Amino acid sequence: MKSRRITPQDRELIAAASEVLRRCYRKGRHTVGAAVRCPSGKIYTGVNVEACGYGPCAEPVAIGAAFSNGEQAISAIVAVCKRGRRIVVLSPCGNCRQLVLDYSPGATVLYSQSGRVRKATAAELLPGAYRTSFDEG
């Protein structure tokens, strides 16, 4: 995968995800924060929702917040969690990778690899992906 430089906009997105996690962190309930940037430039955030059996990850909550506010796509996304006293970038799970791919295959995804923040497009992170009827291409 092609290496891409982390930009000030990427750092701003990480900061937004970190802030929502700091505000909403509740052990066993809300342990992951996410932020999405939309083509409009606006940033939307969300936290995971733990529940008995299943709870959505933070990424779909943030994407839902964006779409609930009239956005139609996302241009970048990141998720973070606490590790001790630090907040670190996470790699998205397979379901979240598929969700971003379905709605915005060209969106930049910030993720963690070997302790470093990396970025790639949603399509690059899920090669050979199942394509849904939402696909326009």
pLDDT in tens, 81-116: 999 999 999 999 999 999 999 999 999 999 999 989
Domain ranges, residue 120: 8-125
Is 72 part of any domain?
Answer: yes
Marked catalytic residue, from 12, 59, 71, 124: 59
Q: Output the six-digit token pair for 12.
A: 């701003």
Is 21 part of any domain?
Answer: yes
**Count: domains in the chain:** 1
Stated pTM of the model: 0.91
CA–CA separation, 63 and 38 (whole Å): 9
Active site residue 71: no
Per DSSP, helices labelled H in the chain are 8-24, 58-68, 94-103, 122-125
Nearest CA to 66 out of 134, 122, 58 is that of 58
